[in-house]
């Protein structure tokens, strides 16, 4: 039920939105090189409109499997694949909590901003780990729990109870009042180009499921399972966002 709500939400919010290729590849290059990716099998778990699947495919992956529960986003991902002419990418509607792939199927599992939107993030990470080969690379970007998370959650939990037809209107009103603040902090022009502030607000405050963790919690989760942390970022840096932290880790052999 909740999973369907998340899928429908992303069908509305992200379907048309493809993050800028160059900015996304620059961010991707902080973690992977074409040499590391060349000839490898990749799972892009919660691929959305497919920007990172495209980047892996263009950087020489043998095959990238992008999965998502939002058919609308997958449709846009498929068009991106056609536009770039990438026979080494495929997109499937799958729930990352129950993947149809055998154990140890992928060399790299990438999940940018996705496990925290599932009903059970620890179970989602465990499922991703199952499909990763021994010695494979696991990339996670996860919403960070901060001192003000509870304020965001009060706002979000109030707004998701409002009727669906009012969401666009409410997001536009919030954007109207929020724009001067965002401009003041000079975030707007640096943030997700091509996406309106009202769309960012929709993504942030109207999403049906959202979990937050501290970097320490996820580090402990990984290390308890024998994963070695290879790179971490306290702030994702993608679109200058400070909302996500990142761990790139390696599965034990």
Ligand X SMILES: C[S@@+](CC[C@H](N)C(=O)[O-])C[C@H]1O[C@@H](n2cnc3c(N)ncnc32)[C@H](O)[C@@H]1O
| Least distance from ligand X to the Cβ atom of residue 51, Å | 5
Least CB distance from residue 150 to ligand X, whole Å?
A: 21
90 scored as a contact of ligand X (CB under 6 A): no
* Angstrom distances, CA of residue 122 to CA of 65, 114, 115, 125, 213: 21, 12, 8, 5, 11
Q: Which stretch binds ligand X (CB under 6 A): 25-33, 107-115, 152-160, 172-180?
A: 107-115
Between 91 and 227, CB nearer to ligand X: 91
> Are 132 and 248 spatial neighbours (Cβ–Cβ below 8 Å)?
no
The yes or no reply on residue 236 touching ligand X (CB under 6 A) is: no
* Interface region with ligand X, contact rule CB under 6 A, candidates 42-50, 153-161, 194-202, 220-228: 42-50
Binding-site member from 56, 112, 227, 245 for ligand X (CB under 6 A) = 112
Scanning the structure block, which residue is given the tokens 């409002």? 162
Instruction: Indicate the residue whose CB is closest to ligand X.
Output: 48
- Our CB check for ligand X shows the closer of 73 and 198 to be 73
- 68 belongs to the binding site for ligand X (CB under 6 A): yes
Contact between 114 and ligand X per CB under 6 A = yes
Phi, psi (degrees; rounded to nearest 5) at 218: -75, -35
H/E run at residue 183: helix 167-184
Measured CA to CA in angstroms, residue 24 lies from 21, 27, 153, 230 at distances of: 5, 5, 28, 20
Binder among 37, 40, 42, 48 for ligand X (CB under 6 A): 48
Q: Among the candidate windows 7-15, 163-171, 180-188, 191-199, which touches ligand X by CB under 6 A?
A: 7-15
Under 8 Å between Cβ of 245 and 212: no
Closest listed residue to residue 218, CA positions, set 124, 133, 153: 124
Closer residue to ligand X (CB): 15 or 180: 15
- With a CB cutoff of 8 Å and minimum separation 6, the contacts of 246 are 31, 139, 140, 141, 142, 231, 232, 233, 236
210 HSE (CA, 13 A, CB side): 23
Interface contacts to ligand X, rule CB under 6 A: 3, 6-7, 10, 14, 19, 46-48, 51-52, 67-70, 73, 95-97, 112-114, 117-118
């Amino acid at each position: 039920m909740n999973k369907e709500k998340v899928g429908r939400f992303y069908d509305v919010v992200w379907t048309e939105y493809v993050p800028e290729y160059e900015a996304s590849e620059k961010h991707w290059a902080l973690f992977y090189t074409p040499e590391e990716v060349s000839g490898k099998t990749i799972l892009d778990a919660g691929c959305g409109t497919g920007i990172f699947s495209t980047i892996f495919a263009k950087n020489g992956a043998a095959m990238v499997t992008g999965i998502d529960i939002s058919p609308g986003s997958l449709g846009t991902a498929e068009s991106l694949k056609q536009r770039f002419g990438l026979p080494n990418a495929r997109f499937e509607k799958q729930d990352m909590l129950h993947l149809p792939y055998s154990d140890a199927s992928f060399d790299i599992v990438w999940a940018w901003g996705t496990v925290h939107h599932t009903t059970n993030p620890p179970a989602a990470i465990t499922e991703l780990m199952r499909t990763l080969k021994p010695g494979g690379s696991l990339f996670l970007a996860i919403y960070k729990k901060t001192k003000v998370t509870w304020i965001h959650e009060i706002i979000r939990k109030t707004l998701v109870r409002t009727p669906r037809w009012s969401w666009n209107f409410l997001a536009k009103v919030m954007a109207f009042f929020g724009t001067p603040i965002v401009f003041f902090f000079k975030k707007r022009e640096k943030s997700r180009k091509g996406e309106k502030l009202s769309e960012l607000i929709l993504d942030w405050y109207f999403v049906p499921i959202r979990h937050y963790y501290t970097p320490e919690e996820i580090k402990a989760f990984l290390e308890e399972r024998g994963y070695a942390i290879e790179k971490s970022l306290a702030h994702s840096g993608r679109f200058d966002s400070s909302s996500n932290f990142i761990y790139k880790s390696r599965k034990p052999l």
